[in-house]
Structure 1
Amino acid sequence: MTTAKMTRREQYAAMTRAALLESARRLFVEQGFDAASVDDIARDCDVSKGAVYHHFRDKQELFVEVYRDSERKLMEAVMQVHGQQLDADPWDLIVACSQTVLRRRAADAEGCALLKQASTVLGAERRQQLDSELVLPLIRGLVQLVHDADRLQPVDIDIAAQLVFHILSESSMLIAFSADPQTSAEKVEAVMLRMFEGLHTKS
């Protein structure tokens, strides 16, 4: 089955949308959400203000898409680790994926800048909802693997996955708001792995 080619208009629309997201990302990081206006984003992208509203309902929707894209790239790095270690012990796999989240977070200054703004711009509940859509299915799958390998303590799998998600979410916030993300990530990782050990059975 062949995929229909995009028309020239559709190609232009897709390119404009991508350019708007890139301009918005850069301005949100450099200036902050409040200071970066829709006019600034349109001007930076060399399009009309109306073009911005053609693709996005408002500035907050632009931020949502920029934030989603940033978090999606983080998850792509985690999935790469996941794919490379499919034959690993399930517990080692969940540890490796969790470490990747923290270490990539610490190395991504732009991602940290967006994460620091996300709770204020979107509200903490909305931010966690967006994060859970991307992250929770993977965590749930990893916890299930550990359970199926008889390496999980006798606990509820869904609750365990939710708690692991919230630990990673709060750990990311600690790193993002730290003056020294790399050192913070090392300290957070040490505590996080100790907490995870309570779920692990080596028998």
Structure 2
Amino acid sequence: MSNVKSRRELYSEATREALLDEATRLFAEKGFADTSLDEIATASLLTRGAVYHHFASKKALFEAVLDRLGTAVVQRVTAVAAQFQEPVVAATAALDAFLTESCDPVYGKLVWQEGPLALGWEGWRRCEHEHSYALVEAFVLALMNNGYLERKAETTTIRLFYEMIGGAGLAIAEADSADKERVRSECSDVMLRLLAGLRRAE
């Protein structure tokens, strides 16, 4: 079977991407509650019906926005870490890359501030878990497998690292623009010192 997409499929994909672009911009500017589907449709040069063709609701559209943002960040963080073979260096580079991504005002606002409001606490937690938990798990297990961290309480250790990294993302998102770099630096310093403190004794 041919994998060549039809003109209709290409148009549908382009329309969906345009919707996500405009939705991302408007949600970041106005927030989820104060952004309507009509506004997004108008900004995308589409009808409301065309929006509903791709997304069943404003909530579904917002979730797709978060999915795209989260997927892109995970890909970039993974690419940075892949440049290093030593697990602790790779993990440190990944953390640095994530904290840098969290300084982006659009990512910070939509993922950490608007997400829980738009999707509800459980829906937002599920969305975040799907994107980033496996990545954190992979780094922690690599540190354990290579003897940097003691292989003890694996699930709890992974969960605490995951929550700590999420807390850093939220702290950066909530900081004023002028303070984001300072908060980012402080989060990095604290987490790296905690990681060093957990290092397995030789």
Cα shift readout 1:110-140 (whole Å, capped 9, x = no counterpart): 1112121111111233222211211111221
Shift of 1:201: 1.7
CA spacing shift, 1:189–1:57, aligned 2, 3 Å: same
- SS for the counterpart of 2:192 is helix
- How many angstroms does 1:202 deviate by? 5.2
What is the Cα deviation at residue 3 of structure 1?
4.7
**Is it true that 1:146 corresponds to 2:136 in the alignment?**
no
Per mean C-alpha deviation after superposition, the further-off stretch among 153-162 and 23-32 is 153-162
Counterpart in 1 of 2:164? 167
SS at match of 2:82: helix
**Contact 1:152–1:200 at 8 Å: present in 2 too?**
yes
Pair 1:195-2:194 in alignment = yes
Give the AA of the match of 2:18. A
| Pair 1:177-2:159 in alignment | no
Distance across 1 between alignment mates of 2:28 and 2:16: 18
Q: Report if the CA contact (8 A) 2:16-2:54 is conserved.
A: yes
Note if contact 1:112-1:176 (Cα within 8 Å) is conserved in structure 2.
yes
Alpha-carbon distance in 1 for matches of 2:15, 2:155 = 41
CA distance in 2, matches of 1:65, 1:52: 13
How many positions carry a matched residue from both structures? 199
2:80 aligned partner: 81
Name the counterpart of 1:98.
95
Residue number in structure 2 paired with 1:27: 26
Amino acid at match of 2:69: S
Aligned residue for 1:11? 10
Query: Per-residue deviation at 1:195?
Result: 2.3
2:109 to 107, 113, 120: 113
Q: Distance in 1 between matches of 2:122 and 2:163?
A: 12
1:26 deviates by 0.8
Amino acid at match of 2:32: F
RMSD (Å), alpha carbons: 1.5
Cα pair 2:101 2:107 within 8 Å, conserved: no
Deviation for aligned residue 1:199: 2.8
Q: CA deviation at 1:40?
A: 0.5
Is the alpha carbon distance of 1:5 and 1:113 closer, same or farther for their aligned partners in structure 2, counting shifts above 3 Å? same
Looking at structure 1, the residues matched to 41 and 131 of structure 2 have their Cα atoms a distance apart, in angstroms, of 29
Cα deviation for residue 104 of structure 1 reads: 2.1
Q: Of residues 110, 124, 130 in structure 1, which corresponds to 2:121?
A: 124
SS of the residue corresponding to residue 84 of structure 1 reads coil
Rate the CA distance shift 1:154–1:125 in 2: closer, same or farther, 3 A. Answer: same
Q: Give a deviation string over 1:35-90, Cα, whole Å, max 9, x none.
A: 111000111111110110110010011111111211222212211112111x22x1
Structure 1 runs of 4+ off > 3 angstroms? none
Q: What TM-score, normalized to structure 1?
A: 0.91
Alpha-carbon spacing, 1:3–1:113, altered in 2? closer, same or farther (3 Å)? farther
Q: Is the 8 A contact 2:83 2:90 kept in 1?
A: no
Q: By how many angstroms is 1:8 displaced?
A: 1.6
When normalised by structure 2's length, the TM-score is 0.92
Distance in 1 of aligned mates of 2:154 and 2:138: 10
Q: Secondary structure at the match of 1:123?
A: helix
Identity percentage over the alignment? 28
Show structure 1 runs of 5+ residues with no match: none
